[in-house]
Each structure stands twice: as C-alpha cells, then as structure tokens.
Amino acid sequence: MFMGEFQHTVDTKGRIIVPAKFREDLGERFVLTRGLDQCLFGYPMEEWRLLEEKLKKLPLTKKDARAFTRFFFSGAVECELDKQGRINIPAPLRKYAKLEKDVAIIGVSGRIEFWAESEWNSYFDESEESFAEIAENMLDFDI
C-alpha cells in the first residue's frame, strides 16, 4: 500500500527521483499514465494488469467508456528505475501534469501520483476546506 507525501524536483532531462519508500512496492518496472485532476498515476505492474482487465470489460458501444480508455491507455508508458531510483517522464506526460520543477509525489493506496507542487497545494487547500463534507458523503460507501 502506498501512502505519504514527498517533494522532489524534475531535472533538466525530465528525470525525477521516486521516493525510496515507494520503490520496493512499485518494482523495477511500473506503468505511468495520465491520471485525473491533471496529475500522473503510477501503477505497479500487477495493479496495472488488474486495472487493464477491468477496463477491457467496459462496453465498446459507450462513448464515455471509449473516451476514458483512449485517454488512459494512450498516455501509458512503462517506466524503469535507474540505479539512483529515478525515472524519465516523457515530455507529453510532463506537459499534461505541468511538471516543470517542483513535484509532489503522493501515495494513494494501490497507486502513486505525481503532481506539480503548486497544483497539489491548490487541490489540497480546496479539498481541505470541504473535507468534512466529502467525508460525510463517503458514508454512503460504508467508509
């Protein structure tokens, strides 16, 4: 399970250090793709395969299902950690998530997320203000 928040920077070659705490569970290879809320999602290979199986079952006849799977899979790349624990994030993914320098890397249960630090701070501040309301709505999901 991934949890926690870490700050790192993207270097001039588009590389970023993956927090040591996340590396073992991610494995040497993992999948990085466009996520929701303009961040990137990183999945261990096993978790990616499970998600892929679920997405394959979406009805091809539904416009939203086609759009979501196109969005999700077209941005997916397999990443490999180098000896320093870094990955190279392709330019289109960096552009999508606005990853220019300072990055927040957060653990979210079965995945990690890469956020431009300013975007994460804005999202967090917005969500923090309505956290009680969000929590109340989660009661419907037996949480």
C-alpha 25 chain-centroid distance: 14
**DSSP tally for the chain: helices H, then strands E:** 6, 8
Domains parsed from the chain with CATH numbers: 2-116 (3.40.1550.20)
Whether residue 139 is predicted with pLDDT greater than 80 in this model: the reply is no
Average pLDDT over residues 104-122: 97
Give the pLDDT band of residue 141 (cuts 50, 70, 90).
low
Tell which wins on pLDDT, 66 or 133: 66
Average pLDDT over residues 62-68: 93
Whether residue 140 is predicted with pLDDT greater than 80 in this model: the reply is no
Average pLDDT over residues 89-109: 97
Q: Report the distance separating Cα 80 and Cα 30, nearest Å.
A: 7
Q: How far is CA 16 from CA 9, 24, 115, 116, in A?
A: 6, 16, 12, 12
